[in-house]
Chain A
């Protein structure tokens, strides 16, 4: 049973549609990460936060992807205009410090048709 809660488990969108997924980090974990895991099991780092502030994000995230971690609300990752290549498992993880063990959620599996 993961202590990081991700919703929804599955998401199906048409190309060009918005896709939004949410993450509740483990209690007491101020650092939150988003990764994309493709069908070949390759992980791609997207963005991470400490409390509400962005620590690092990749270029792809800056264009069609947006993410936030507001105080007292779930974190979210949104793809503004979904593309077929965005089909993947999106994983949220949290940790107590930047360089400590992560806890991953079960992921949101996005299918863009």
Chain B
């Protein structure tokens, strides 16, 4: 049973549009949710993260919306740019003991100019 699921698998938007990437999880003990951006040939880079005590976190063009009751979250990228084209991973951790992250399988975002 996959603990963290992402949808869609791939997403194409036009430059300037808002891209919405979805994530859901199974384990109710998860309390920390980072999103990573990964370009080909590179390691993942932390984009933005949220803890379960919050329902929204904003950083520039990137916003996480979190629904604890439904165990769902989404990443909104406003004013998408071609440079945002990458694979985005949602991850989750219960944190307290080891900090181990469980990752989703990623969403490949393409932003067309």
A interface list, Cβ under 8 A from B = 2, 4, 6, 31, 33, 35, 40-43, 45, 48, 55-56, 89, 91, 93, 95, 97-107
Do B96 and A41 touch (CB < 8 A)?
no
24 A-B residue pairings within 8 Å (CB atoms): A2-B43, A6-B43, A41-B89, A41-B105, A41-B106, A43-B89, A45-B100, A45-B102, A48-B100, A91-B43, A91-B44, A93-B43, A95-B99, A98-B96, A98-B97, A98-B99, A99-B99, A100-B99, A101-B34, A101-B46, A102-B99, A104-B36, A106-B43, A107-B43
B interface list, Cβ under 8 A from A = 32, 34, 36, 41-46, 49, 87, 89, 91, 93, 95-103, 105-106
> For A31, what are the chain B residues with a Cβ–Cβ distance below 8 Å?
99
Number of A-B contacts defined by CB within 8 Å: 67
- Complex alpha-carbon distance, A4 and B45, angstroms: 11
Pick the 4 closest A-B CB pairs, nearest first.
Answer: A99-B95, A98-B99, A104-B43, A43-B103
Q: Which of B34, B87, B96 contacts A102 (CB 8 A)?
A: B34
- Complex alpha-carbon distance, A101 and B95, angstroms: 11
With A91-B44, A106-B43 given, is the CB distance from A99 to B96 under 8 Å?
A: yes
- Complex alpha-carbon distance, A56 and B32, angstroms: 18
The closest CB in chain A to the CB of B106 belongs to: A41
The distance from the CB of A34 to the nearest CB of chain B, in whole angstroms, is: 11
> For A6, what are the chain B residues with a Cβ–Cβ distance below 8 Å?
43
> For A55, what are the chain B residues with a Cβ–Cβ distance below 8 Å?
97-99
Q: Which of B46, B93, B101, B106 contacts A103 (CB 8 A)?
A: B46
The closest CB in chain B to the CB of A100 belongs to: B99
Do B46 and A56 touch (CB < 8 A)?
no
Do A106 and B99 touch (CB < 8 A)?
no
- Complex alpha-carbon distance, A97 and B91, angstroms: 17
14 more contacts with CB within 8 A, not counting A43-B101, A89-B43, A98-B98, are A33-B100, A33-B101, A41-B105, A42-B105, A43-B91, A48-B99, A55-B99, A56-B97, A56-B100, A98-B96, A99-B99, A100-B99, A102-B99, A104-B45
